């Protein structure tokens, strides 16, 4: 029995689970905020951030990690079944994630000054 496809599928399912867990925690407003507004802010700036800025950063981070989880699941399904529609769908999700991150960051930068 060839274990290579199972290994490849698990290689994609593990980051999918991690992405979904991070997305869930971001939705609950718990844990580290994986957003540029928070990552690059000084400790003083983090303390002075209002709840609206934090909620917006959590929301964007939640959406990005959820889409990344979907992408990993689609790649895993593609490598398990070799149906090209899943490969194309996962590449489409990558394009959506990139576009969403750019648009939301630009909107966030415009709103925050």
Measured between alpha carbons, how far is residue 50 from residues 1, 4, 18, 47, 113 in Å?
Answer: 56, 49, 28, 8, 14
In whole angstroms, give the CA distance from residue 34 to residue 1. Answer: 41
Domain extent listing, the chain: 4-111
In this prediction, residue 112 carries a pLDDT of 65
pLDDT in tens, 55-112: 989 999 999 999 999 999 999 999 988 999 999 999 999 999 999 988 987 887 777 6
pLDDT band at residue 49, thresholds of 50, 70 and 90? Answer: confident
In this prediction, residue 1 carries a pLDDT of 47
CB pairs under 8 A, 24+ apart, for 90-99? 93/67, 96/67, 97/64, 97/67, 97/68, 97/71
pLDDT in tens, 52-68: 889 989 999 999 999 99
Of the ranges 20-24, 38-42, 61-65, 75-79, which one carries the lowest mean pLDDT score? 38-42
In this prediction, residue 73 carries a pLDDT of 96
pLDDT band at residue 46, thresholds of 50, 70 and 90? Answer: confident
């Amino acid at each position: 029995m060839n274990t290579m496809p199972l290994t490849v599928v698990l290689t994609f399912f593990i980051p999918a689970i991690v992405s979904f867990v991070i997305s869930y925690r971001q939705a609950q407003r718990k844990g580290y905020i994986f957003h540029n507004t928070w990552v690059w802010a000084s400790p003083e700036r983090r303390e002075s951030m209002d709840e609206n800025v934090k909620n917006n950063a959590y929301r964007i981070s939640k959406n990005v990690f959820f889409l990344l989880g979907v992408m990993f699941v689609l790649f895993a399904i593609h490598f398990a079944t070799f149906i090209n529609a899943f490969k194309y769908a996962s590449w489409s999700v990558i394009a959506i994630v990139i576009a969403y991150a750019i648009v939301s960051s630009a909107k966030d930068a415009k709103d925050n000054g």
